[in-house]
Amino acid sequence: MKTLSNVVMILIFLFLWSTPIYAQEVSSVDKKIEELKAKIVELQTQENSLSKQISLLNSNIELTTLRVDTIKMAIEKLSKEIDELAGEIEKLEVLLTKRSELILHRIPETYKRQSIPSFGVLFFSSDVSDFISRMKYMNRVQEEDAQLLVQLKATQNNFGERKETREKKKTQQEALKKQQEEEQVKLGRQKKEKQILLNETKNSESRYQSLLARALAEKNAIDRARIEGMKVGPVKKGDVIAIVGNTGYPGCSTGAHLHFEVQKNGSWVNAEEYIQGRDVYDDQNGGRSRIGSGGWDWPLDGDVRVTQRFGKTPYSWWYAYSGGIHTGIDMVSTNELIKAPKDGTLYSSSQSCGGGSIIKIKYIEHGDGITSFYLHVQ
């Protein structure tokens, strides 16, 4: 996707710089984009605070908006060029038809002229002067026929080139439209993230820091559980290992749910790449989505609703310790029995999680350095 994005941005600048007015607009936009990128880099080095986070979100929203506008300009310019090419192609098609018809009409006449030898022309000529005139006429007609054939070939080539150019521009336009849709989705996600930030923090710095501390407390609880967890024993895929709960509330939980996380050699990995593809309700994208691309079973049966996915999410600003990445999958279901998604060795742990709350954690070691975690269980 990154490669496609780079190609699309190159196309944008190639198209827009070809027109002076567009070139001025793009130059201004390009300068603003670079300024925003520099501002974002500077903000990321500052101490984490609510005002900094809001400024960072605003800058990202402005940057994405500029990208959307730039792509829109490129699409509009391509549309105009495609329409102009369509008009040229239509005219060339008419000209090509006329010249083809003329060639087809002149072929029999040319054949007749070529079938008469020079002595035949001499025979029908009244004198030498008439003979010379007739020969000049026939030569001129042959030259005109040759020129007409050249013109027909040139028209055919021009017609083909224009059609090929139009198809290329249509392909480029489709790529730009796809990129525009992706940027629009990204912009909507950024605006949603800002609104959630304002709603959750109520514009309070202390509440913002409290939410960050809650997320960090959950991470620390997992780290301690890896060291202090008590071995329960081997489990098979499908064995019930726990029940969905809300342990850790209010220190590091906001409600009953399962936080399912996978680590490999102690580092976070995307759990969606381990579980099988399944159609579930996706709160993040608003509607049903197919999540999963691996071979493991899901830890929950029933009608599953994923409230937060792995990676960058509208709530991932909570996770400052991971660079703003949600390290697992949060889910709820009509069936609250948690099952082992794959064979392994089960461990259990209870850890303090801020504010005197206790979070209960189960985890399974599957071998090859892979461990799955289950948080907030009863």
Query: Which pLDDT tens digit goes with each residue over 279-292?
Result: 999 998 889 999 99
CA 237 to chain centre: 35
Q: Nearest-CA neighbor of 342 among 264, 239, 229?
A: 239
Confidence (pLDDT) at 123: 47
Q: How confident is the model at residue 29 (pLDDT cuts 50, 70, 90)?
A: confident
Query: Which pLDDT tens digit goes with each residue over 104-138?
Result: 665 555 544 454 454 444 444 455 564 455 445 55
CB 260 within 8 A of CB 241: no
Nearest-10 Cα torsion for 352, 357, 358, 364: -80
CA–CA gap between residue 33 and residue 178 (Å, rounded): 21
CB 352 within 8 A of CB 325: no
Confidence (pLDDT) at 78: 82
CA–CA gap between residue 356 and residue 2 (Å, rounded): 45
Better-scored residue on pLDDT, 13 or 236 = 236
Other beta carbons within 10 angstroms of residue 264's beta carbon come to: 13
- In CATH, what number does 1-203 get? 1.10.287
Residue with tokens 């070809």: 18
Query: Of the spans 30-44, 71-85, 200-214, 289-303, which averages the highest pLDDT?
Result: 289-303
Burial 111-140 (b: 16+ CB within 10 A, else e): eeeeeeeeeebeeeeeeeeebeebeeebee
In the chain, which ranges are E strands?
A: 230-235, 240-243, 258-264, 267-269, 278-282, 287-291, 304-308, 328-333, 337-339, 344-352, 358-367, 370-375
User: Does 20 sit behind a cis peptide bond, omega within 30 degrees of 0 on the bond before it?
Assistant: no
270-274, 316-320, 370-374: range with lowest mean pLDDT:
316-320
Q: How confident is the model at residue 32 (pLDDT cuts 50, 70, 90)?
A: confident
Query: Which pLDDT tens digit goes with each residue over 232-241?
Result: 999 999 999 9
CA–CA gap between residue 28 and residue 43 (Å, rounded): 23
Alpha carbon separation from 89 to 85, 86, 93, 100, 155 (Å, rounded): 6, 5, 6, 16, 10
CB 330 within 8 A of CB 306: yes
In the chain, what are the domain boundaries? 1-203, 220-375
Is the pLDDT confidence value at 16 over 70? no
CA–CA gap between residue 359 and residue 349 (Å, rounded): 8
Q: How confident is the model at residue 178 (pLDDT cuts 50, 70, 90)?
A: very high
SS3 string, 150-219, reads HHHHHHHHHHHHHHHHHHHHHHHHHHHHHHHHHHHHHHHHHHHHHHHHHHHHCCCHHHHHHHHHHHHHHH
CA–CA gap between residue 365 and residue 223 (Å, rounded): 14
Confidence (pLDDT) at 46: 86
Query: Which pLDDT tens digit goes with each residue over 180-196?
Result: 999 999 999 899 999 99
Query: Which pLDDT tens digit goes with each residue over 292-322?
Result: 999 999 999 999 999 999 999 989 889 989 9
145-159, 161-175, 208-222: range with lowest mean pLDDT:
145-159
CA–CA gap between residue 52 and residue 41 (Å, rounded): 12
